[in-house]
Structure 1
Amino acid sequence: MQQNSRHQLSLLARRPEVVTDILQVVKTVIAATGAWWLSDNVLNSQMPFLAPWAALLTVHATVHRSLSRGAQSTIASTLGVALSFVIGNYLGVSVWTFALALLVGLTAARLPWIRDEGIAIATTGIFVLGSGFDSQQPFLGERILELCIGVAVGIVVNLLVIPPLRDQQAARYVDSINRRMGDMLVNMADELDDDWDTAEADDWFKETESMSHELNSAWQSVRFARESQKANPRDRLRRKRIPSDEAQDSQMSSEDASYENILQRVDEGISHLRHLTRTLREGSYENGQWDTRFREQWTSVVRDAGRAIADPDAEVEPIYQRLEQLSVRMVEDKGLPERSWPLYGSLIASMQHIAVIVDDVASARSARESG
C-alpha cells in the first residue's frame, strides 16, 4: 500500500504542470527575498516592502508575461506613488484624502493598457499614505527606484531560474484526447459486436461532449505553451544546440505537426464521432437486426480506427480503403434490404471522415515526436 502511494506521488511530482507550479513558488520566494535584501541592505530603505511586493507581482508563469506585466506593474506602481505624494502634499493625510486616493487609484486601474496590474495604483497608495507620509515626502524618487528594483529582480529571476516551457503539458493534453477518441471507438466496436441498446449510444454521445470540454482545456494549454516560448532563453538555447540542417527539418516538421493543426483535426474528429453516435441512437435499428456481414466488417474497421488514433504505431490496414471495399461489397449484395442503406451509408460516411482524420493525427503526432 505504501509502495503504491509512493509510486503515485512520484508520478505526480514528475508531471510537467506540477513541476512548473513548484518552480513558480520557488522563483517567487527567491525574487521577493532578493528584492527585500537589496532594498534593506543596499538602499537602506525606510519602506523595504515596496521592492519585494513589486517582485511578487512580476514573477508570472512565463517570461513573456513577466515582461509585459512587469512593465504594467512599474507604470501602475509609479502612478500610485505619484498620486500619494500629490494628495499627501497638497491635501494632507486624513480619512477623506485616503478615500480620495483609493477612489482615483481604483478608477485609473480600469485603464485598458494597465488593466491587468492596474490595482497596483491603489495598493501602492495605501502603502505610501498608510506608512507615515510626512517622513516619506522627500523620497519620491527613492520609492520609485525601489519599485523598479523589485520589478527588475522579478524579471531576472524568471529569466535565469529555469523559465518554463509548457510544450510537454500541451503534448499530454493532445495525447489524452487522442487516446480517449481511440478508446471510445474500440469500446463502440466491442459493444456493437454484442447486444447493445440506445443507453450505450447515449453514453457515447455524452463522452463526445466530455471530449469537447477537454479539448477546450487543451487549447488553453497550447496557447500557454506558445506564450512560454516567447522571450524564453531556454527555447533559444535548445535551438542553438541543434545543427542547422536538423533544425530546419525539425522546424518544418513542427510547423506541419503543430499542436494547433492537430487540435483542429481532433475537433473535426470529435464532431464526426458525435454525428456517428447520433446515427446509432436515432437510426433505423429498432429491431436490432443488423446485417451480420456488414456489422462484422464495419465494427472491425471501427476497432482498428480506434487503435490507430490512440497509438500511431499500431499496425492496421488502411482504413479508408477498407471502407470503400465494404461499400462496394454491400452494393453488389442484392440481398441487403434497401431500407438499411440510409443507416449503413451514414455509418460508412462518418467513418470515412474519421479515417482521414485518424491518418492526419497519427502522421502529425509521429512528426511532432520525431521533431
Structure 2
Amino acid sequence: MREWMQRWRQRVDERLGDPIWWNDVLQLVKTVLAAVAAWVIAASLLELPQPFLAPWAALLVVHATVYRTFSKGMQQVAATVVAVVLASVVGRALGLDAWALTVLLAIALVLGAVPWLGAEATTIATTALVVLTTGFESDVLIISRLLDTAIGVGVGLLVNVIVWPPLRRHTAAKALDRIDDQIGELLVDMAGGLGDGCQDEDVAGWIERTRDIDADLDQAWALVRQAQESARLNPRRQARAMRNPEQWHGLLRRLEQAVAETRSLARTLGGQRSHRETWGEGFADPWISMLHDAGRATGDADPDALLDVRARLEGLTDALRSTERSAEWPVYGALIINLRNIIDSMDRVAEAQPIGGPGLPLRVPVRRRGTS
C-alpha cells in the first residue's frame, strides 16, 4: 500500500510540475471562460434573441496561440457572415425543405474550397444550417446572429490575449528535455547490454528505440514552431526571445545528430557476434564504461561530465594508436567516432538545459508525523 501511495504521489507531482499539462489546463479554462462570458453578454446584457452563436464563435476562436486566435477570428467572422447571408438567400428563395437543405449544404461546402475559407468549410455549413432551420425570415434575427458572432469572436480574442496569453516556450523546452533523457537512457541501457552480453534482439530493440525518439523529435520541431507562432502578437516580455528561435533550431539539429549516431552505433554493434571477447578487455572495458557515463551525463544534462568522457575517449584513442594494429581496428574506429559525435552533439544541449527555465514548484503536500 505504501509503495502504491509513493508511486501515485510521484505521478501527481510530475503532472503538477509539467508545463505542458498546465498549458492544456489553462487553455481549457480560457475556452470555457470565453464561451460562458460570450453567452452572458449576448443573452443577459444585450438580450439578443437566440444568442447561441456567441458561445459557439468563442469556442471556435480560442486557439493555442494569440496569432492563431486573431487569424482564425477573422476567418470565423468571414465564414459566419457568408453562412448567415447564404442561409437567408436560400431560405427566402426555396423555403425550408429537403431541396433547400441540399442546395444550402452544397453551396456552403463549395465555398469552403476557397483557400482563405478552406479551414472553415464545416463552420460555414453548420452555421448556415442552424440559421436556416431556426429562422431566416426576420432581418432582426439575421442582424442578431451577426452580432452574436461578433460578440463571441471579440470575447474569445480578449480572453486569449488578456488572461495569460499562451507562450509555448516551456512546452517546447519540456519536449527537448524528454528527448535528451531518452537518449541518455538508451546509451546507459546499451552499455548495460554490452556488459551482460547482448543478443540480436537487444540490438534490434535499441534501433527501434532510436526510431521512437525520431518521432518525438518531429513532435519537438512542431512544438518549437508553435512556440515561435505563440510569440507573435503576444504582449508578454518573454515572447521576444521566441520570435527568432535559432538557438532552439540548433539544439534540435544536435539532437537529430545524436540520434543518428546512436542508431549507427547500434548497427555497428549488431554486426559483432561477441563483443567483449572479440574486442579484448583493453578496449571493451574502458569504452563500455565511457558509453555508460556518457548516457548518465546526457540524462543529467551535465556538460562537464560529458567533456570528461570525451577527454577519456581521446586518451583511449591515443593509447590504441601506440599499440599494434589488429583486425578490430575498423570497429574500434567506428565506435569511437560514434561516441565522440554523440558527446559533441549533447554537450551543447546540456549547456543550454536552463533554456526552459525551472520547473513549476508544485508538489502534493506531505503530511508529517506528529502534526494534525
- With normalisation by structure 1, the TM-score equals 0.86
Judged with a 3 Å threshold, the aligned counterparts in structure 2 of structure 1 residues 8 and 185 are, in CA distance, closer, same or farther, namely: closer
Query: Aligned AA for 1:299?
Result: I
> 1:131: which partner in 2?
134
| Residue pair 1:309, 1:362 contacting (<8 A) in 2 also | yes
In structure 1, C-alpha distance between the alignment counterparts of 2:16 and 2:322, rounded to whole Å? 58
1:228, CA displacement in angstroms? 2.1
List aligned pairs for 1:329-344, cutoff 5 A: 329-334=319-324, 336-337=325-326, 339-344=327-332
> 2:76: which partner in 1?
73
1:211 maps onto 2:176 in alignment = no
1:311 maps onto 2:313 in alignment = no
Give the unaligned 5+ runs of structure 2. Answer: 359-372
Alignment partner of 1:291 out of 275, 280, 292: 280
1:58, CA displacement in angstroms? 0.9
1:276 maps onto 2:265 in alignment = yes
1:362 maps onto 2:350 in alignment = yes
> 2:173: which partner in 1?
171
Judged with a 3 Å threshold, the aligned counterparts in structure 2 of structure 1 residues 138 and 369 are, in CA distance, closer, same or farther, namely: closer
| Residue pair 1:205, 1:274 contacting (<8 A) in 2 also | yes
1:76-126 Cα shifts (integer Å, max 9, x gaps): 000000111112223333321122111101111122112222322111211
In structure 2, C-alpha distance between the alignment counterparts of 1:255 and 1:115, rounded to whole Å? 29
In structure 2, C-alpha distance between the alignment counterparts of 1:270 and 1:38, rounded to whole Å? 53
> 2:149: which partner in 1?
147
> 1:265: which partner in 2?
254
> 1:345: which partner in 2?
333
In structure 2, C-alpha distance between the alignment counterparts of 1:96 and 1:176, rounded to whole Å? 55
1:284, CA displacement in angstroms? 6.7
How big is the alpha-carbon RMSD for the aligned residues of Structure 1 and Structure 2? 2.6
Query: Aligned AA for 2:102?
Result: A
Judged with a 3 Å threshold, the aligned counterparts in structure 2 of structure 1 residues 194 and 93 are, in CA distance, closer, same or farther, namely: closer
In structure 2, C-alpha distance between the alignment counterparts of 1:286 and 1:100, rounded to whole Å? 72
1:113-161 Cα shifts (integer Å, max 9, x gaps): 1222232211121121101222x23543332222111110111111122
1:53 maps onto 2:56 in alignment = yes
Judged with a 3 Å threshold, the aligned counterparts in structure 2 of structure 1 residues 119 and 176 are, in CA distance, closer, same or farther, namely: same
Aligned residue pair count? 353
Identity %: 36
- Once structures 1 and 2 are overlaid, which stretch shifts more, 286-295 or 274-283? 286-295
List aligned pairs for 1:217-256, cutoff 5 A: 217-233=219-235, 235-236=236-237, 238=238
Alignment partner of 1:302 out of 288, 291, 314: 291
- Once structures 1 and 2 are overlaid, which stretch shifts more, 274-283 or 115-124? 115-124
List aligned pairs for 1:26-45, cutoff 5 A: 26-45=29-48
1:195, CA displacement in angstroms? 2.8
1:283, CA displacement in angstroms? 3.9
Q: Secondary structure at the match of 1:165?
A: coil
1:314-345 Cα shifts (integer Å, max 9, x gaps): 653544443333223222212x52x2111111
In structure 1, C-alpha distance between the alignment counterparts of 2:168 and 2:17, rounded to whole Å? 14
1:237-294 Cα shifts (integer Å, max 9, x gaps): x47xxxxxxx9xxx59x966x3221111101110011001000101474894222111
Judged with a 3 Å threshold, the aligned counterparts in structure 2 of structure 1 residues 346 and 129 are, in CA distance, closer, same or farther, namely: same
In structure 2, C-alpha distance between the alignment counterparts of 1:15 and 1:193, rounded to whole Å? 35
In structure 2, C-alpha distance between the alignment counterparts of 1:286 and 1:19, rounded to whole Å? 46
Judged with a 3 Å threshold, the aligned counterparts in structure 2 of structure 1 residues 21 and 312 are, in CA distance, closer, same or farther, namely: closer
- With normalisation by structure 2, the TM-score equals 0.86
1:177-223 Cα shifts (integer Å, max 9, x gaps): 11121122223223333433333222221221221122122222222
| Residue pair 1:205, 1:278 contacting (<8 A) in 2 also | yes
In structure 1, C-alpha distance between the alignment counterparts of 2:163 and 2:172, rounded to whole Å? 21
Alignment partner of 2:66 out of 51, 63, 66: 63
In structure 1, C-alpha distance between the alignment counterparts of 2:64 and 2:340, rounded to whole Å? 42
1:367, CA displacement in angstroms? 6.0
Greater RCO, CA 8 A, separation 6+:
2
Alignment partner of 2:184 out of 182, 185, 193: 182
Query: Aligned AA for 1:345?
Result: G
1:162, CA displacement in angstroms? 2.0
